């Protein structure tokens, strides 16, 4: 189904023309209830979407579009374990990972909840041993440093959450993340830790990812050189993977393997054993709080009418700007230093999910845009860097402003200053400023923002926040008629890199490359 052929899409195109001359300043002036009308409280989160170029009519049409694209049907299919990842013939069940154990979820006739519970129990045992000091290395000393080796979905989620939950970290355990195949990433960390007290978690669903395995092999070499024996690997390596043979071949004790399944997508996997480094950092109770927060949002998403449904509203506002205002990007601006990796994490979650140009029926998409570029950095730093373009650039940049109200590091007036800037920016973007005598100092305003206010950044509230965005992305994928759960676009580069790697190792004549690539390989070979 092509969304542009729906009745709602046509009505939205007309409505967009009517909204051209409408300024949000006037919408607020006309309606003293606008904030109340267009904001939703959910648990400790306030979602204010009143600073958007919308009226009740806009929302009605956007919800009609969601209905015409059968969003309610797709939500049910996802939660029920339907194989909605059609190109890989897989179910999409990150929601099952945070589901209550007594609610069965079936894949190919099997209830997956017992498997999930078994892995959680194993994670509980493992982290308990770690925190009690019972996990000991080859020399008998307790583990103090955990290094997660993974990339993409096996890195960004756990890394972001581990950073965000720093105030909850257990004393005496330090967590590190190695992802880049540039040896600098690994070496800089190895310089700071001791082999006797280090545990490596090799996080790779497939256990075939070149970067991860290269880093893991180098880490193993480092350990074996220091310990003088291959035996040390058993005590110092664990794995999270769906590929037991490869884990075993690598030399990791099968007891130290944590299972993951094909119905957990990489970028949606922090709720699975891929979250093990999170649990090592904050303990299993806090990890389960994270799951509980996400589960609350799952229930909200599944059970709330669209006009009170936060992820649906976030998604449809995004569609409004992407498809009817031509906004090419969307900014994520957390006013909370602990969320400094959140924009980078969402970049993968959103862009790998919805950066697609073939629709769910296998046709090339024409006539509408799919996922925007996602970017951002914490405020207030961004204000001194790129906000200029958001205020006065030629293209619209819808933005999500995220603030936590209860500072985890209260000190003097810092948090009040931070909050003042947060509020000032969204107000300036809304109102603008008229300076007829000097246009360069004028601001048009009318630039849309969402404000997400969270009482306190806890494991539970973070779980909620992440799940809101997961479901937002899902809704957009449904409306754009794309499969948000595959990522074929990463394959070609991987294949070419394999060929080029061989060519870099040898002096054989080059063939089959374009002139630029041939010239570059020649240059690199000469320099070596
Ligand atoms: C995410 C992608 C991708 C994946 C990495 C790591 O959705 O599939 O980022 O997570 O390529 O894959 P492995 O976990 O298999 O090493």
Q: What is the pLDDT of residues 414-430, one digit of tens each?
A: 999 999 999 999 999 99
pLDDT on residue 528: 86
Give residue-wise pLDDT tens across range 155-191: 999 999 999 999 999 999 999 999 999 999 999 999 9
Buried-exposed string 145-167: b where 16+ CB fall within 10 A, e elsewhere: bbbbbbbbbbbbbbbbbbbbbee
Give yes or no for residue 471 CB within 6 A of ligand 1.
no
Give residue-wise pLDDT tens across range 25-64: 999 999 999 999 999 999 999 999 999 999 999 999 999 9
The residue from 163, 211, 352, 470 that is catalytic is 352
* Cα-Cα-Cα-Cα dihedral sign, residues 98, 201, 216, 261: negative
Distance, CA of 277 to CA of 123 (rounded, Å): 10
Residues 6+ positions from 359 with CB-CB distance below 8 Å? 2, 365, 480, 481, 482
Q: Is the pLDDT of residue 444 over 90?
A: yes
Whether this prediction's pTM lies above 0.95 is answered by yes
Q: Assess whether 205 carries a catalytic annotation.
A: no
Give residue-wise pLDDT tens across range 194-238: 999 999 999 999 999 999 999 999 999 999 999 999 999 999 999
Confidence of residue 477 (pLDDT cuts 50, 70, 90): very high
Q: Average pLDDT in the 247-273 region?
A: 97
Query: What average pLDDT is seen over the chain?
Result: 97
Beta pairing class for 237-240 and 110-111: unpaired
Distance, CA of 39 to CA of 36 (rounded, Å): 6
Share of the chain above pLDDT 90, in %: 99
Strands (E) in 14-171, as ranges, are: 39-42, 45-48, 106-107, 110-111, 145-149
Q: Average pLDDT in the 357-376 region?
A: 97
Closest residue by Cα to residue 224 from 214, 212, 236: 236
Give yes or no for residue 293 CB within 6 A of ligand 1.
no
Distance, CA of 266 to CA of 446 (rounded, Å): 37
What secondary structure letter does DSSP report for 170? P
Contact 51, 426 (CB under 8 A): yes
Q: Is the pLDDT of residue 400 over 90?
A: yes
- Cα separation values, 120 from 32, 189, 223, 254, Å: 49, 28, 28, 17
- Name the residue of 181, 205, 352 to mutate for ligand 1: max ligand atoms within 8 A of Cβ: 205
Give residue-wise pLDDT tens across range 101-153: 999 999 999 999 999 999 999 999 999 999 999 999 999 999 999 999 999 99
Q: How far is the CA of 218 from the centre of ligand 1 (A)?
A: 20
* Cα-Cα-Cα-Cα dihedral sign, residues 104, 108, 110, 116: negative
State the distance between the two ends of the chain, measured CA to CA, in whole angstroms.
Answer: 53
């Amino acid at each position: 189904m092509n969304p542009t052929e729906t009745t709602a899409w046509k009505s939205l195109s007309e409505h967009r023309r009517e909204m051209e001359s409408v300024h949000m300043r006037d919408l607020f002036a006309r309606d003293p209830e606008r904030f109340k009308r267009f904001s939703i409280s959910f648990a400790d989160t306030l979602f204010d979407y009143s600073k958007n170029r919308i009226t009740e009519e806009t929302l009605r049409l956007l919800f009609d579009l969601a209905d015409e694209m059968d969003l309610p049907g797709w939500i049910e299919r996802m939660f029920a374990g339907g194989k909605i990842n059609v190109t890989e013939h897989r179910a999409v069940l990150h929601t099952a990972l945070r589901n209550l154990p007594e609610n069965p979820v079936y894949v190919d006739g099997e209830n997956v909840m017992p498997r999930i519970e078994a892995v959680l129990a194993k994670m509980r045992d493992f982290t308990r041993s770690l925190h009690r000091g019972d996990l000991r290395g080859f020399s008998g000393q307790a583990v103090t440093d955990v290094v997660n080796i993974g990339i993409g979905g096996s890195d960004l989620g756990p890394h972001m959450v581990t950073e965000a939950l720093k105030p909850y970290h257990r004393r005496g355990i330090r967590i590190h993340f190695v992802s880049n195949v540039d040896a600098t990433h690994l070496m800089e960390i190895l310089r700071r830790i001791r082999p006797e007290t280090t545990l490596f978690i090799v996080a790779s669903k497939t256990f075939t990812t070149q970067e991860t395995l290269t880093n893991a092999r180098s880490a193993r070499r480092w350990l074996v050189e220091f310990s003088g024996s291959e035996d040390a690997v058993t005590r110092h390596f664990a794995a999270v993977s769906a590929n037991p043979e490869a884990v075993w071949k690598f030399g990791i004790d099968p007891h130290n393997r944590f299972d993951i399944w094909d119905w957990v997508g990489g970028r949606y996997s922090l709720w699975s054993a891929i979250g093990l480094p999170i649990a090592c950092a904050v303990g299993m109770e806090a990890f389960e709080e994270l799951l509980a927060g996400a589960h609350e949002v799952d229930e909200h998403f599944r059970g709330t009418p669209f006009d009170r449904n936060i992820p649906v509203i976030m998604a449809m506002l995004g569609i409004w700007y992407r498809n009817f205002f031509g906004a090419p990007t969307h900014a994520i601006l957390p006013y909370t230093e602990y969320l400094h990796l959140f924009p980078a994490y969402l970049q993968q979650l959103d862009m790998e999910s919805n950066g697609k140009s073939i629709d769910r029926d296998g046709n090339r998409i024409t006539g509408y845009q799919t996922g925007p570029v996602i970017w951002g950095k914490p405020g207030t730093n961004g204000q001194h860097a790129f906000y200029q373009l958001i205020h006065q650039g030629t293209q619209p940049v819808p933005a999500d402003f995220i603030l936590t109200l209860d500072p985890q590091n209260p000190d003097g007036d810092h948090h009040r200053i931070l909050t003042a800037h947060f509020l000032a920016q969204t107000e300036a973007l809304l109102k603008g400023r008229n300076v007829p005598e000097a246009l360069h100092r004028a601001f048009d305003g009318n630039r849309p923002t969402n404000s997400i206010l969270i009482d306190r950044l806890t494991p539970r509230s973070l779980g909620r926040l992440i799940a809101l965005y997961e479901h937002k992305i899902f809704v957009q994928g449904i409306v754009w008629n794309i499969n948000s759960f595959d990522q074929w676009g990463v394959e070609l580069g991987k294949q070419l890199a394999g060929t080029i790697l061989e060519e870099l190792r040898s002096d054989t004549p080059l063939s089959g490359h374009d002139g630029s690539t041939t010239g570059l390989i020649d240059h690199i070979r000469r320099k070596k």
